[in-house]
Amino acid sequence: MAEAKALRMNAADHEISYANNSVFQKAVISKVTPIIEESIRDMLKEMGPACIKVADLGCSSGRNTFETISQVMNTIHGICKREELKFPEFEVLLNDLPDNDFNSVFMSAPDFVERLKKEKGDMVQERCFIGVAGSFYDKLFPTTTLQFVNSSYALHWLKKGLVEETDVDSFNLPFYTPCKEVAEIVKKE
């Protein structure tokens, strides 16, 4: 069986790594916060699970790795406080390509947990971080095991036939077009 080739990020300590050059991605994460919050509110109303399994597809390795997870946990914390609900356990599944720097991801996890403990100590007692290496074009998780899945850039799923065109609007995905310079470079390639 032929191995699929994929682009990967430079190591975290590299000058032109994702970790050192991810301002645009952070802006995208900030823009979709209201959508994430609404989805989580709906999920908690309908399911109220004792353990929430959150997957971030294409989590990267850098400062933004835990941004989406932090948003999810903060939203759940706020809802549980307001509604006087018991805080669920968290299982966080961080997915990226096998060649990406999972070591730096897991080296930064303790800092993330410490920050959460300082901000919301009652929320982070029960949590588990799991790395899931592989392409999300393939099946990564058993059916019906996840409550919340995030991928900041997932419109390409439509091209692969993983999402029906009629269902695209139900995903609430943001769409960004490249600037004129980038569009010209892509045309030349």
Q: Which residues pair with 147 in a beta bridge?
A: none
CATH of the domain at 128: 3.40.50.150
Verify that 54 and 65 share a domain, yes or no.
Answer: yes
Axis-axis angle for helices 23-31, 33-46 (nearest 10): 50
Task: Count how many domains the chain has.
Answer: 2
Average pLDDT, the chain: 72
- Tokens representing 61 are 């390795």
Same-domain status, 188 and 123: no
DSSP notation for 51-92: EEEEEEET--SSTTTTHHHHHHHHHHHHHHHHHTPPPPEEEE
Q: Same domain, yes or no, for 123 and 175?
A: no
Beta carbons within 8 Å of 118's beta carbon, 6+ residues apart = none
104/158 same-domain check:
no
**Is residue 94 located within the same domain as residue 49?**
yes
The Cα 66–Cα 187 span in angstroms is 34
Report d(CA 108, CA 44) in Å as an integer: 28
Q: 138-185 pLDDT, tens per residue?
A: 788 888 788 877 776 655 555 565 556 565 555 444 444 456 666 676
Domain that holds residue 118: 23-153
Structure confidence at residue 176 (pLDDT): 43
